[in-house]
Amino acid sequence: MLTKKFLLEEKDIPTAWYNIVADMENKPLPPLNPATKQPLNPEDLYPVFAKALIAQELNRTDPWIEIPDEIREMYRIWRPTPLVRAYGFEKALDTPAHIYFKNESVSPVGSHKLNSAIAQAYFCKKEGITNITTETGAGQWGAAMSYAAKAFGLELAVYMVKISYEQKPYRRSIMQTFGAQVIASPSMSTKAGRKILTEQPQYMGSLGTAISEAIELALQTPNCRYVLGSVLNHVVLHQTVIGLEAEKQMAMAGEYPDVVVACFGGGSNFGGIAFPFLRHNFTEGKDVRVIAAEPSSCPKLTRGVFQYDFGDEAGYTPFLPMYTLGHTFAPPHIHAGGLRYHGAGTIISQLNKDGLIEAVDIKQLDAFKAAVLFAQAESIIPAPESSHAIAAVIREAEKAKEEGVQKTILFNLSGHGLIDLASYDSYFAGDLLNYELTEEDLAKSIDPLEKIL
Ligand SMILES: *Cc1c(COP(=O)(O)O)cnc(C)c1O
């Protein structure tokens, strides 16, 4: 058998998102107001985010947050997504491990990002907000948000990291198709952008800078809010539809995973697939291992520090307690643009600090090698981001083979790579590098951080 799909029906689309914070013994530390160093009040965030999203962000008590019918109605366009037993990939690896993947690449924009974009657009619209701003790295979030904004009749401006604006012009085309305005970041349209462009005219941008620009524009525009595609608790919350569906589908397959793997940018697809399973560790004494696969060139979980830091480069966001490389960290220009973020979400940071999750780092060339093997075995060309998860799965499958044990591995295929083929071209041409970051490289952005913890 080449492959086997486990499919749910529309009625199986989850009716509530899972808020893991309610079940955590050690809850994440509170976000702080950077001026006073006091815990943030919800009102502090009102100028930036929709109120319903702030309530989700700060909710520490309710394990289940109902999904409004209008959102489930939109989810029906592509959800439930398939769970696939990757027989072809198992065979290619000659491993006794059983490998399953949740295929989030089937969304209209090709990634998991739409799960949260739809929800964020809905709550903004419901509060009478008319304009939204956001940032995008590789363009996946921008594409998802453009689609969602159009669906709910919102005007959207997207700051796109300049290196991706140039490397990935087709994602820009997708955003424009759905009516969004796309601006290369850093730009001259904001104070944050002008500052960095005058200091470093050749700067090709980072997610941190693009976030600063998007927040600045939101604050200056009437009836406008900012939306973010990863890192924040409410974004991870929305992504738990992935794991909640996968839980039912693994039961259909008659298995329960020993290991759950996802790639790691800010943590939304990782938390999305892992938290519903981790819940059983917390509430029923299961012991599934969950592994976050981050790029060696942006290694916040494996080499960063646990500290309060800003979520953006200019320092407009609250202080968030997280594993960070420092908000001024400028990651090397790897092709997995969606993983080039300096920090990890606060829930995942706390879980990592408490040893409840694992993190591994993956080199760029290993990710592409894994991607090609997977594509040939399973007929799907994975996104460069997702390929980091695949490389981590290969390690686990090889370990199972060495140890001669059967092991069930579930991973999230966060997106397809059909709009990232220029990156594949560079790989085939031998133009891609592994970036080795030295301790000195990391110290440049970590050492200047204020030591609050
Ligand atoms: C954005 C993105 C990621 C990384 O973001 P997370 O919030 O860490 O999930 C991973 N895969 C794809 C395809 C993406 O678009």
Is pLDDT above 90 for 407?
Answer: yes
Nearest to 366 by CA among 435, 302, 267: 435
| CA gap 344, 327 in Å, rounded | 11
For residue 318 the two structure tokens come to 């609250």
Give the tens place of pLDDT for each residue, 299-320: 999 999 999 999 998 899 999 9
Question: 5 CA distance to ligand 1 centroid (A)?
Answer: 23
Q: Atom 4, ligand 1: which residue's CA is nearest?
A: 265
Q: Which atom of ligand 1 is nearest to the CA of 264?
A: 8
For residue 169, say if its preceding peptide bond is cis, omega within 30 degrees of 0. no
Question: 219 CA distance to ligand 1 centroid (A)?
Answer: 26
- 381-389 average pLDDT score: 97
**Residue to substitute in 112, 134, 234, 236 for testing ligand 1 pocket (most ligand atoms within 8 angstroms of CB):** 112
Q: What is the pLDDT of residue 329?
A: 94
| CA gap 206, 313 in Å, rounded | 8
Is pLDDT above 80 for 345?
Answer: yes
Residue 280 sits at φ, ψ, to 5 deg, of: -70, -30
Task: Look over the chain and give the mean of its residue pLDDT values, rounded to a whole number.
Answer: 96
Is pLDDT above 70 for 1?
Answer: no
Is pLDDT above 70 for 346?
Answer: yes
Side-chain half-sphere exposure of 432, counting CA atoms within 13 A: 22
Is pLDDT above 90 for 168?
Answer: no
Q: Express as a percent the part of the chain with pLDDT over 90.
A: 93
Q: Atom 7, ligand 1: which residue's CA is nearest?
A: 268
Question: 379 CA distance to ligand 1 centroid (A)?
Answer: 21
Q: What is the pLDDT of residue 338?
A: 82
Give the tens place of pLDDT for each residue, 182-231: 999 999 999 999 999 999 999 999 888 999 999 999 999 999 999 999 99
* Alpha carbon separation from 104 to 37, 205, 413 (Å, rounded): 39, 28, 6
Helices (H) and strands (E) in the chain, counts: 18, 15
Q: In one letter, which amino acid is 429?
A: A
Q: What is the pLDDT of residue 336?
A: 79
Q: Specify the range with the lowest mean pLDDT, choosing from 81-95, 247-261, 430-444.
A: 430-444
* Alpha carbon separation from 156 to 144, 211, 351, 420 (Å, rounded): 11, 14, 34, 23
Question: 22 CA distance to ligand 1 centroid (A)?
Answer: 24
**How would you class 22 by CB atoms within 10 Å of its CB: exposed for 0-12, middle for 13-18, buried for 19 or more?**
middle
> DSSP string spanning 347-376?
HHHHHHHTTSSEEEEE-HHHHHHHHHHHHH
Q: What is the pLDDT of residue 295?
A: 96
- 428-438 average pLDDT score: 92
Coil, helix or strand for 124? helix
Position of tokens 């012009």? Answer: 169
Is pLDDT above 90 for 337?
Answer: no
Q: Which atom of ligand 1 is nearest to the CA of 267?
A: 8
Is pLDDT above 80 for 255?
Answer: yes
Q: What is the pLDDT of residue 334?
A: 75
Give the tens place of pLDDT for each residue, 181-195: 999 999 999 999 999
* Sheet with strand 408-413: strands edge to edge: 4-6, 83-85, 98-103, 408-413, 259-263, 289-295, 358-362
The ligand 1 site (C-beta within 6 Å) comprises: 111, 113, 140-141, 230, 263-270, 338-339, 383, 385-386, 414-415
